[in-house]
A and B are shown apart, each in its own frame.
Chain A
Amino acid sequence: MAPEDMQVVLDVPDLLARLENDRELLVELSEILKTEYPTHLRSLEQAVSGEDMKTVERTGHALKGMFAALSAARAASAASQLEQIGRKGDKLALRNALTILESEAAALLIELDRCLEAAKNEDSHR
Chain B
Amino acid sequence: MKILIADDEAVSRHLLEKTLTRAGYEVIAVENGVLAAEQLSRPDGPRLALLDWVMPELLGPDVCRHVRQRRDQPYVYMVLLTSKESKQDVVAGLESGADDYLIKPFDPDELKARLRTGLRILQLEDKLVEAREGMRFKATHDPLTSLLNRGVIMDLISKELVRAQREKSSITVLLGDLDHFKQVNDTYGHPIGDEVLRETARRLLASVRSYDLVGRYGGEEFLMVLNSCGAINAFARAEQIREAISKLPVQTARGALPVTMSLGVLPTGESGPRSLEDILAEVDVALYAAKMAGRNCSKLADAKCSV
Contact = CB atoms under 8 A, between A and B. Distances in A.
Partners in one complex: yes
Interface of A: 18-20, 22, 25, 28-29, 32-33, 35-36, 58, 61-62, 64-66, 68-71
Contacts of A61: 54, 83
A33 B10 CA distance: 8
A77 B191 CA distance: 78
A19 B15 contact: yes
Contacts of B104: 65, 68-69
Contacts of A33: 11
Given A20-B22, A64-B83, A69 B11 contact: yes
A66 B19 CA distance: 16
A69 B12 CA distance: 6
Interface residues of B, number: 19
Contact of B19 (A20, A28, A35): A20
A3 B14 CA distance: 29
Given A20-B19, A61-B54, A29 B9 contact: no
A32 B105 contact: no
Which of A33, A69, A71 has its CB near the most chain B CB atoms (within 10 A)?
Answer: A69
B83 to A, nearest CB: 6
A68 B85 CA distance: 14
Interface string B1-28: 0000001111110110011001000000
A20 to B, nearest CB: 6
Contact of B105 (A22, A28, A35, A68): A68
A104 B243 CA distance: 87
B112 to A, nearest CB: 10
A25 B18 contact: yes
